[in-house]
Amino acid sequence: MLDWLHAHKDLTGVVMGTTFGMGARLFMLRSDYRQYPAYPHGKLIHLALGLIAGALGSVAVPALYNKDYTAITFLALAAQQFREVRNMERSTLTAIDHLELVPRGAAYIEGIAVVFEGRNYLAILTAFLTSLFVIIVGWWSGLLVGIVSLFVVHRFMRGKSITHIADVERVEIKLEGPNLYVGDVYMMNVGLEENREIIKQQGIGFILTPKNDDARVTIANMGQRQAILHDVSTRLGVYRDDGDPALLPIAKLGLRTGKLGLLVLPREKDRDKSYQAVCNVPLLEAAVRKPTEANRKSTEGKPIG
């Protein structure tokens, strides 16, 4: 058996590369509390794309090894197709976002679409490296590289959360007449007594204090704020129905302090779960800003970029 694997390196590389590429995509595919991609049809689409990505990455190695440089064309075509996948995910999520009681927002949707595209490229890279080491060294090295690649892609699955840039604190909700405060942050004017009673009973308040000047700009981003409200409402429900604007979860910025006040109205009023939900909100790539670094480079007379 070992002699056969050594004698058929090209075939072994393609099979092992495709397997590990598909495995990497399967490893990165999760349906969590957001329930996306949906089971089973949404998963089936992404698994099929993972199989294609693994096959393309593994086949490219023996093709290039045998000086068939047209394989680069197929990789370029695959990149174009995966960009179409990104557009498909963006269109689908944008269409269903109008049906959410607390929408995701454009920044969150774009982040999800980028992740789906990027993970297909990680599947190609896993398959390519596995196939490369099988052909150049041997099947055992391809097996080792494939396993290591699975750990690497697992690392890429872990993005930063909101706690990396801000301290999260539970605070009391205060109503001074119709004026609603979360801590020392003014939120809004609540006109109806009925709505004020619901907010007193169901509302939970949080204050997010940025850890530095860059974080101050990031949490002020409207897309990041909307992502926080959506995640908490998805995990714990939301105590409102369509047509109740006064009961919509809200995030307001304290202009003098830079703190972000959050008012959430979960269907399940659990302070500990709400706190964990806020802490676990992903930090959106589209919302991250680093003005202090840009200003420092500009002051030093160096080009920014």
What are the tens digits of pLDDT across the range 62-113? 888 877 777 777 778 777 878 887 888 888 888 888 888 888 888 888 888 8
pLDDT of residue 205: 92
Closest of 83, 145, 66 to residue 120, by C-alpha: 83
Same domain, yes or no: 10 and 145: yes
- Residue 287, in any domain of the structure: yes
- Residue 113, in any domain of the structure: yes
Domain boundary among 108, 125, 158: 158
Q: Could you tell me if 168 and 275 are in contact, meaning their C-beta atoms sit under 8 angstroms apart?
A: yes
Q: Which residues of the chain are modeled with pLDDT < 70?
A: 1-8, 31-41, 292-305
Same domain, yes or no: 75 and 185: no
Is the CA virtual torsion 213, 216, 222, 225 positive or negative? positive
Say what the pTM is. 0.80
- Residue 301, in any domain of the structure: no
Same domain, yes or no: 100 and 115: yes
> Among the residues of the chain, which ranges form H helices?
2-7, 9-28, 41-65, 71-97, 106-136, 139-157, 193-202, 213-219, 222-236, 271-279, 291-299
pLDDT of residue 169: 92
Q: How far apart are CA 289 and CA 299, in angstroms?
A: 18
Same domain, yes or no: 142 and 225: no
Same domain, yes or no: 154 and 175: no
Nearby residues of 250 by Cβ (< 8 Å), 6 or more positions away: 187, 188, 229, 262, 263
- What angle is formed at CA 211 by the lines to CA 207 and CA 214, rounded to 5 degrees? 110
- Strands 179-182 and 166-171, by their bridges, are unpaired
Same domain, yes or no: 86 and 179: no
Same domain, yes or no: 41 and 99: yes
Give the strands of the sheet with 173-176, arranged side by side. 173-176, 179-182, 185-189
Q: Which domain holds residue 269?
A: 163-293
Q: What letter would DSSP give residue 107?
A: H
Domain boundary among 158, 184, 216: 158
- Residue 302, in any domain of the structure: no
User: For 44, phi and psi rounded to 5 degrees?
Assistant: -60, -40
Same domain, yes or no: 151 and 281: no
Same domain, yes or no: 40 and 139: yes
Same domain, yes or no: 146 and 179: no
- Residue 104, in any domain of the structure: yes
Domain boundary among 158, 189, 210: 158
pLDDT of residue 248: 86
Same domain, yes or no: 44 and 129: yes
Q: What letter would DSSP give residue 2?
A: H
Q: How far apart are CA 276 and CA 272, in angstroms?
A: 6
Same domain, yes or no: 283 and 226: yes
- Residue 298, in any domain of the structure: no
- Residue 7, in any domain of the structure: yes
Domain count, the chain: 2
CB burial of 215-248 (b: ≥16 within 10 Å; e: otherwise) equals bbbbbbbebbbbbbbbbbbbbbebbbeeeeebbe
pLDDT of residue 168: 92
Closest of 202, 203, 216 to residue 167, by C-alpha: 216
- Residue 303, in any domain of the structure: no
Closest of 220, 224, 211 to residue 278, by C-alpha: 224
